[in-house]
A and B are shown apart, each in its own frame.
Chain A
Amino acid sequence: MEQQREAGTLGMWVFLVTEIMFFGGMFLAYTLYRYQYPEAFAVASNHLDIRLGAINTVVLIFSSFTMAMAVFSTQVGKRLNSIIFLLVTMALGLTFLAIKAVEYHDKYVSNLIPGTLIPGHPFNPNVHELHLPPGVATGNVEMFYWIYFAMTGMHALHMIIGVGILTVITILAARRCFSPEYHAPVEITGLYWHFVDIVWIFLFPLLYLLGRHLEGHMG
């Protein structure tokens, strides 16, 4: 049994390695374009809602805590507690997605969805609203938003999948499928959930924060 549990955990970690490389590619793209267009990226980054971003960071960290508590409750055989913690984790995940949807909608209203992802609603920023310094092309600002939507979109997709997995795990927990002897699925789900949290721990400073100290220095 012990060996099976460890093999399962190892398998999950190998999957997470592929996820690290997947998100790593996007982090690399972000790094290169930020290096090439520092002003445009600072301007675009400063236009994101730092308050919503920070609230979402706290929501995700809290959900990681409740997920860890769900694993603990299962390990010590407190089934009801574990179901409650799983439900709270799901609720926090959905809260994160709702706040993300509000942010996406703000970008939609400001015509900041890049390219023609939304037919009939192309990328068309209000240059005055963005405080674009002279010599900075809107195309470079658009590049930031491509990366922003690609990274937060993939992250949100992982959150949606995570909530789906949690739904299944919660149902199984309610059917008494887990015990202190057997709870590998809960633990592995926890690994996935924490990984998605870690991605956001990097996305928040990189997308929302870098460039804040330049506010006021630029045109």
Chain B
Amino acid sequence: MSEHIVYPRVYVAIFLALLAGTGLTVLAAFRDFPGPLNAVVALTIAVVKATLVVLYFMHVRYSPRLIGLVIAAALFWLAIMFALTISDYSTRGWLPVM
């Protein structure tokens, strides 16, 4: 398997998409969405932007699947760290302290 070359038109398209995402997230920040939706919208846009960078600028889309596995493992462990810690903090005070 030889190296896959990504051509500039792809990079330009991703660059423009990232700029659009940045503009969108700034606009969305000043709108008052109900509940926690502001955070959801901001994080969704950030995840989409990061995914574009990883897949195209960092060539993961054209790389061996092993690379994808390494990234998935990292995200999995990150999720464990967040899930266990937040489950602790968010449930404190549920029971009265004796």
Q: Assess whether B18 is in contact with A61, with CB atoms less than 8 Å apart.
A: yes
Partner of A194, one of B33, B58, B78, B82: B58
A-B contact count (CB 8 A): 128
Task: Report chain B residues within 8 Å CB of A152.
Answer: none
Q: How far is the CB of B16 from chain A (nearest CB, A)?
A: 9
Query: B70 to A20, Cβ gap below 8 A?
Result: no
Q: State whether A209 touches B25 (Cβ < 8 A).
A: yes
Q: Assess whether B29 is in contact with A209, with CB atoms less than 8 Å apart.
A: yes
Q: Is the pair B53, A198 in contact by a Cβ cutoff of 8 Å?
A: yes
Provide the bound-state CA to CA distance between A177 and B91, in Å. Answer: 57
B29 touches A213 (CB 8 A): yes
Supposing A10-B66, A10-B70, A210-B39 touch, asked if A205 and B81 sit within 8 A by C-beta, the answer is no
CB–CB B38/A210 < 8 A: yes
Whether a CB of chain A sits under 8 angstroms from the CB of B94 is no
Q: Is the CB–CB distance between B15 and A197 below 8 Å? A: no
Interface residues of A in 173-219 (CB under 8 A from B): 187, 190-191, 194-195, 197-198, 201-202, 204-206, 209-210, 212-214, 217
Indicate the size class of the contact surface on chain A: 35 or more
Does A126 lie at the interface of the complex (its beta carbon under 8 Å from any beta carbon of B)? no
CB pair A10–B67 under 8 Å, yes or no, is yes
Cβ contact within 8 Å between A64 and B8: no
Interface contact A13-B67, CB-CB below 8 Å: yes
A36 contacts which chain B residues (CB < 8 A)?
89
Check B89–A202 contact: CB distance below 8 A.
Answer: no
Residue pair A213, B57 in contact (C-beta under 8 Å): no
- Taking CB atoms and an 8 Å cut-off, the chain A residues in 59-99 that contact chain B are 61-62, 64-65, 67-69, 72, 75-76
Given contacts A21-B77, A205-B29, A213-B29, contact A72 B85 (CB under 8 A): no
- Identify which of A27-35, A107-115, A142-150, A164-172 touches chain B: A27-35
Is there an interface contact between B3 and A75, defined as CB atoms closer than 8 Å? yes
Q: Which residues of B contact A190 (CB under 8 A)?
A: 57-58
- B33, B56, B67, B90: which contacts A213 (Cβ < 8 A)? B33
Which residues of A are in contact with B by a Cβ distance under 8 Å?
Answer: 2, 5-6, 9-10, 13-14, 16-17, 20-21, 24-25, 28, 31-32, 35-36, 50, 54, 57-58, 61-62, 64-65, 67-69, 72, 75-76, 187, 190-191, 194-195, 197-198, 201-202, 204-206, 209-210, 212-214, 217
Known contacts A58-B22, A72-B8; 15 additional CB pairs below 8 A are A10-B64, A13-B67, A16-B74, A17-B74, A20-B75, A31-B86, A54-B22, A58-B19, A61-B22, A65-B12, A68-B14, A72-B6, A197-B53, A205-B25, A213-B30
